[in-house]
Structure 1
Amino acid sequence: MITLFDIPSTLGVPWSSNVWKTRFTLNYKRIPYKTEWVVYPDIEAVLKKHNIGPTGTKGDGTPYYSLPAILHVDDATGEIKAALADSFHIAAYLDKAYPDTPRILPEDEEGLQEQKAFADGLLWDMMPLLTIMFKAVMPVMNEGSREYFSKARAMNLYGVYGVHRLENIPYGEEERRVLWKDLEVCFGKLEEKVARTDGEGVWFKGDRITFADFVIGGLLIWMRTILGENSEEWGRVSAWNGGRWGRFLEGLKEYYDTAV
């Protein structure tokens, strides 16, 4: 059985865009799994407990531990078959470990690097989204995670300016207006990027789903979950670019199973 480590919230449903990349991958491949919920301050200790390594380095040079992560244990023998983090590396492992399931990463190096570059760069290409969503996530953040999240994400975004908590980031009507206007531009650029690879279908590579589509899907379901499916904000996003993003997420609907 595979255990997927995820971050809880008061909503009682998965919300993390990064973890959704792996949920989509598991659901698309129809691989059974269960979820273990881990609050932000406990992520490092839990991953170390299972010998799951860091995914990067913090600004102070210490290891950075993050989710998603999976633990794959053989049900019959109890043997640990895999223990790893990072949605891209998990996808590569699942393609190899389950060769009879639909493959989501290309086998050629050029295609593989294209997918990785897209996955690594999407959120950073949408910087306005981070402020919008980090502020929106705070009210629904599990109590055990809220303090950690506020400090860590403020440091990610504005630490260089001396802002150490998300609550201290200016977010009045004018700031929101500018951020949403800038975000629409970002989605327009995403539309152009996807369109350049889009053949006959809606997906990143045309008529076949690849990991890049789960990267986009993770971002969109994150927004819809936190902003609210019936909110004015999500309605705005889903209608941008001729309604592409609402249709895009609807196209992934059969892979929403959450295995909580």
Structure 2
Amino acid sequence: MSQPIITLYDIPSTVPQPWAPSIWRIRFILNYKRLHYRTVWIDFSDVEATLRSINAPPTSYKSDGRPVYSLPVIIDPIRTSPVVLSNANIIADYLELTYPARPVFPDGSRALQSLFVHYIQETFARPLLPILVPLTHQALPERSQAHFRGAGAGPSSVQMTGQQREQAWRAVKEQFDFLASILDKNTGSDGNGVVAMGHDVSYADFALCSVLIWIERVSPHDGWARVRQWNNQRWVRLWEKCRDYMDAL
């Protein structure tokens, strides 16, 4: 029997697509596991209505109990009743369990990788937000820009001077320097110091490289030009390690 085609929902923009880091984490896994999938592009303003229409579970809930719908979302028609999932980490766990070939969680690494990915999302990437969120807003279609502003995430939330921008990039570099010092512990006979698990790429690397892609897609001449030079070009080497899994089958 032919392999079912998974549907991955993503956000369109005017920059080279795709760009969203949380969705890239899933795209990497699909590509790495050599799974067949198609991408459905939906504007920010249509996300909630679209996800409700396919019975996707909410990603979270607001303090008043209202559900929040966000991407990534996948539909896997593997069973008679298709599996519809949201939340990048939940989707990653599902894909690993359902399609165990070419694992992204080597034996015994799931807990530590989960901590690593949480750090990438909640701490490492946070200084990038005031820089990249306004640039991302500018790259969205007009309908999505209006929705982005309504959510308080548009350019009106941050207006930086040149000095403030440099200060923001210094805060970003502090995070990159710290992570480089941790990954350097893998350097030596037992590892190359580029990937989190020492030798082979894993979910942790995909989470980190997804942030690099976001920088490169929305700020190629400023952000990526800076980052690629940092830490002895470590991040370019990680990019190259993940390059084979940036293109779908």
Length-normalised TM-score, structure 2:
0.89
Per-residue CA deviations over 1:96-127 (Å, capped at 9, x if unaligned) read 2112x20112454xx32222222223132132
Q: Which residue of 2 aligns with 1:49?
A: 53
Question: Separation in 1 of the partners of 2:63 and 2:110?
Answer: 28
Match of 2:116 among 115, 118, 122: 118
| One-letter code aligned to 2:34 | R
Counterparts of residues 204-215 of structure 1 (less than 5 Å): 204-215=196-207
**Over aligned residue pairs, what C-alpha RMSD do you find?**
1.9
Q: Displacement of 1:196 after TM fit?
A: 4.0
Are residues 29 and 152 of structure 1, via their aligned partners in 2, closer, same or farther at CA, if it must alter by over 3 Å?
same
Alignment of 1:166-205 (within 5 A): 166-196=155-185, 199-201=190-192, 202-205=194-197
Quote the sequence identity (%). 33
> Contact 1:8–1:39 at 8 Å: present in 2 too?
yes
Q: Structure 2: which 5+ runs fail to align?
A: none
In the TM superposition, structure 1's runs of 4+ consecutive aligned residues that sit over 3 Å from their partners are 195-199
Amino acid at match of 2:127: P
User: How many angstroms does 1:59 deviate by?
Assistant: 4.3
What is the distance in 2 between the residues matched to 1:196 and 1:62? 44
Normalising by structure 1, report the TM-score. 0.85
Task: Report the Cα distance in structure 2 between the residues aligned to 1:48 and 1:247, rounded to whole angstroms.
Answer: 40
For the structure 1 residues 193 and 45, does the alpha-carbon distance in structure 2 shift closer, same or farther, using more than 3 Å as the test? farther
Which runs of 5 or more residues in structure 1 are unaligned?
155-164
What residue identity is the alignment partner of 1:55? T
Count of matched residue pairs: 241
Q: Find the residue that maps to 1:71 and give its secondary structure.
A: strand
- Give a deviation string over 1:72-118, Cα, whole Å, max 9, x none: 114xxx8234210122211211112112x20112454xx32222222
Residues 151 and 166 of structure 1 are in contact (CA less than 8 Å); yes or no, is this contact kept in structure 2? no
Greater shift in the superposed pair: 216-225 or 10-19: 10-19
Give the counterpart of 2:42 among 35, 38, 41: 38
